[in-house]
Amino acid sequence: MMDKTIDLDIRRQDTPYSPPYWQAFSIPYQEGHNVVSALMAIREQPITRDGHRVDPVAWEFNCMEEVCGACSMIINGHPRQACSTLIDTLEQPIRLEPLSKFPIVRDLMVDRSRIFSDLKKVRAWIGLGYP
Ligand code: FES
């Protein structure tokens, strides 16, 4: 019998402007894993399901208590906080994508400071009239 695994398909993107692609990973099943701890296991062993060593997946977390929002991502099609989403509640393979409303920095990491940079753009635009 095969050992139980956690299977994840992760949408990756190397730079803000490069095309996205999907990579599949399998990690040994462990009870109580949430999406953040599964991503940590992948970071320790960034090897795809078909055996290729790849760059570690970029993502963020901070509080681990469902407060800061840094770990927000699209999990199986729904925006959720990875630190509080238990693997056992998810259908596999688990699909992880970056939040779609923010510019992608890399992989699952988005730029949540967009509101701030939009303000800077407005200031730059105003600046054009007053060189
Ligand atoms: S790490 Fe802060 S909400 Fe998940």
Ligand 1 atom 3: the closest Cα is on which residue?
66
Please give the average per-residue pLDDT across 88-112, as a whole number.
95
User: What is the CB < 6 Å shell around ligand 1?
Assistant: 61-64, 66-71, 81, 83
Structure confidence at residue 131 (pLDDT): 41
34 Cα: distance to centroid of ligand 1 (angstroms):
12
95 Cα: distance to centroid of ligand 1 (angstroms):
19
The ligand 1 atom at the shortest distance from the C-alpha of residue 63 is: 2
CA distance 50 to 126: 52
Structure confidence at residue 49 (pLDDT): 96
Contact at 8 Å (CB) between 36 and 71?
A: yes
Q: pLDDT tens across 39-50, in order?
A: 999 999 999 999
Please give the average per-residue pLDDT across 110-119, as a whole number.
70
Structure confidence at residue 3 (pLDDT): 77
* Residues, the chain: 131
| pLDDT exceeds 50 at position 122 | yes
CA distance 103 to 118: 12
5-128: which CATH architecture?
Roll (3.10)
* Cβ count near 98 (within 10 Å): 24
The ligand 1 atom at the shortest distance from the C-alpha of residue 68 is: 2
Domain map (residue ranges) of the chain: 5-128
Contact at 8 Å (CB) between 11 and 36?
A: no
Q: pLDDT tens across 64-83, in order?
A: 999 999 999 999 999 999 99
